[in-house]
Structure 1
Amino acid sequence: MTLTQLSYIVAVDKHRHFATAAQKIYITQPTLSMQIQKLEDELGVLIFDRSKTPVVPTAMGEEIIEQAKLILSGAKHIEDMVAVQGDNLKGTFRVGIIPTIAPYLVPLFLKSFVDTYPEVELIFEEALTAEVLKGLNEDYFDVGIIATPTDKHMYEKDLFLEPFLGYVSVDHELAKKDKLCIDDLYKEDLWLLNEGHCFRDQTIKICKQNNEKLNKAPIIFESGNLETLKRLVEQNFGITLMPYLAMDDYDTKCANGVVKQFEDPIPSRKIRLVYSREFLKKNLIEAFADLIKQSIPEELESQEEAMVIE
């Protein structure tokens, strides 16, 4: 029995599919299947019922998988303890990050972090907020980057406040305004992200400020991607809200939409670093947070008139 074999059965349990599990942990399916079969032969029990789709653990398999998670967590704990010793930061650092932050924030600090800490292996995985928190609780992620508060069992570091921006089609009446106010959104049908995205929930909260009639407005289309919402606006279809960093490199020569800031108080979301274990990789977490803060645009470093939308 090896830690590798235990990690394989945990992966299959998570994805409930041998091919998907193999893909996620970057090995071939035959290797995964062979190692799990070898473990089952050694233990003399079936861990998975392969006759069902999706594959499910047997009753004994469920107990073995739970023990495997504990063993893997303990092994990771030992590795983490060693990795934070001394002056040089090193080891694997797995980051769960929500999709409305990842493509815009990570490029700002990635090269600087790699140059500064070459012995740290950074692994990023985009996931919805609920999935990030679940991964932290299961010790799958070391840290998460999210935009909503967590429960009392998590530790948080505030990184920065990110304003919401309006993105308006060029022929829309709001394109003529210098700045938007929240009242402008009351009568608009906004393009929204799919359910599960915290940015969607926050957008709806902004529109609901003192507005009980919002729910009567029809939602025509929902997307899982901010870039899709941008393209809809640029085809002269209405208005959406965007996080500041998503529009930081906006080029008016390449798009057919208009970016609009809000009047004070500016609706904003709080970007935070979250983690579940304070005592492990503390130095690495501190270094990671500090470098992110150093990499954000100067205009995000202080916002005195922000209205934080949680």
Structure 2
Amino acid sequence: MTITQLQYILAVEKHLNFVEAAEACNISQPALSMQIKKLEEHLNVKVFDRSQSPVIITPVGQLILDQAKIALKDFNQIYNLVVNEFDGLQGEIKLGVIPTISPYLLPLFLKNFHEQYPLLQLQIEELTTEKILEGIENGKLDLGILATPLGSTKLREIPLFYEELMAYVSPENELFEKKYILSNEIDLSSLWLLEEGHCLRSQIENFCELKQKQNIVSQLNFKTGSLETIVKLVDKYKGITLLPELAILDLNEDQMCKIRRFEGEKPIREISLVVDKHYPRYAVVEAFKNSITQSLPVDILTEKPQTILIIN
């Protein structure tokens, strides 16, 4: 049993097709099939049922695939340990960032980061929280930037900053005349949210206690992953939404006049750098942390406030 064979069966699991898996692995389909057959003969089990199209993963095959992911992740850690020992600030780093952070945070620090660490090659993906956690777990991502806390014992969370959520209100909405607003004053029929799967949507739902309220209307089912689209919809349909602090920094003067803070306990979300608990490249983690915190606008808090409402 070899590492290469494990890589091949994981490719077949992903594509459920031997031809596509072979193309992804840059080898011929017969060569890939032969290596998987050797693995199955060595283990005396069938990983895949080839009589079906697409191929079916056998019950014992799924157990083997799950263990293969762990084995490959541990194997890759050996390389990471060597790189970290001799020069932790070179090589490839795969980073996942949630969409409500990516367009606002990356432009702040990425240019200086590349200039300071020219030997690090970054591969950055904009992904939902679920996909980032999945990527870190299976070793396809090194780090993630997302909202925390996550409550996982398998992960290490390094808080970067705390950003307040503020209301963006259309001038035609009745709350526009108020200087400060309360969450229970929001009319759900005028509230616009991102589609399911985005952590910001869940945070707003929790803050406004939407799950406990019955008058959930069509706007809540609108499917978009773009805060910019939500802002335009609010302007067009006398609506309201909640925006994180970094996103507000990109608004123009006219749009800033539509921002309203919440009265009393302010909703704040924690943004952290997240890695596997045993991720060995400490120098890389520290480089990201320092570069990001040093690039933040002065109004963004980098220390946890004493009295806040962390929403997740």
- TM-score using structure 2 length: 0.81
Q: Deviations over 1:26-82 (max 9, x none)?
A: x66875746533523554767544554554334564455345424422321111011
Whether the 8 Å CA contact 1:235–1:256 is kept in 2: the answer is no
CA–CA separation in structure 2 for the residues paired with 1:33 and 1:196? 36
Moved more, 9-18 or 139-148: 9-18
Aligned residue in 2 for 1:232? 233
Whether the 8 Å CA contact 2:144–2:275 is kept in 1: the answer is yes
Structure 1: state its 5+ residue gaps.
none
Q: Rate the CA distance shift 1:20–1:131 in 2: closer, same or farther, 3 A.
A: farther
Aligned residue in 2 for 1:215? 214
Whether the 8 Å CA contact 1:194–1:200 is kept in 2: the answer is yes
Task: Give the counterpart letter for 2:245 in structure 1.
Answer: Y
Q: Rate the CA distance shift 1:53–1:238 in 2: closer, same or farther, 3 A.
A: farther
Whether the 8 Å CA contact 1:167–1:230 is kept in 2: the answer is yes
Query: 1:67-106 alignment to 2 at 5 Å?
Result: 68-86=68-86, 89-106=89-106
CA–CA separation in structure 2 for the residues paired with 1:184 and 1:165? 14
Aligned residue in 1 for 2:309? 307
CA–CA separation in structure 2 for the residues paired with 1:17 and 1:125? 25
Aligned residue in 1 for 2:292? 292
Aligned residue in 1 for 2:36? 40
Task: Give the counterpart letter for 2:101 in structure 1.
Answer: I
Aligned residue in 2 for 1:169? 170
Whether the 8 Å CA contact 1:8–1:32 is kept in 2: the answer is no
Whether the 8 Å CA contact 1:144–1:275 is kept in 2: the answer is yes
Q: Rate the CA distance shift 1:54–1:198 in 2: closer, same or farther, 3 A.
A: farther
Task: Give the counterpart letter for 2:205 in structure 1.
Answer: I
CA–CA separation in structure 1 for the residues paired with 2:28 and 2:123? 21
Task: Give the counterpart letter for 2:36 in structure 1.
Answer: E
CA–CA separation in structure 1 for the residues paired with 2:106 and 2:133? 19
Whether the 8 Å CA contact 1:264–1:306 is kept in 2: the answer is no
Moved more, 221-230 or 54-63: 54-63
Aligned-pair CA distance for 1:192: 1.8
Q: Rate the CA distance shift 1:88–1:157 in 2: closer, same or farther, 3 A.
A: closer
Aligned residue in 1 for 2:13? 13
Whether the 8 Å CA contact 2:205–2:211 is kept in 1: the answer is no
State the secondary structure of the residue aligned to 1:141.
coil
Aligned residue in 2 for 1:135? 135
CA–CA separation in structure 1 for the residues paired with 2:108 and 2:122? 15
User: How many residues align structurally?
Assistant: 303
Aligned-pair CA distance for 1:109: 1.4
Q: Deviations over 1:5-28 (max 9, x none)?
A: 643432442454679878xxxx66
CA–CA separation in structure 2 for the residues paired with 1:224 and 1:4? 40
Structure 2: state its 5+ residue gaps.
none
Q: Rate the CA distance shift 1:73–1:153 in 2: closer, same or farther, 3 A.
A: closer
RMSD: 3.3
Aligned residue in 2 for 1:122? 122
Task: Give the counterpart letter for 1:153 in structure 2.
Answer: K
Aligned-pair CA distance for 1:164: 0.7
Q: Rate the CA distance shift 1:37–1:267 in 2: closer, same or farther, 3 A.
A: same
Aligned-pair CA distance for 1:309: 1.6
CA–CA separation in structure 1 for the residues paired with 2:18 and 2:62? 16
The percentage of aligned residue pairs carrying the same residue is: 36
- TM-score using structure 1 length: 0.81
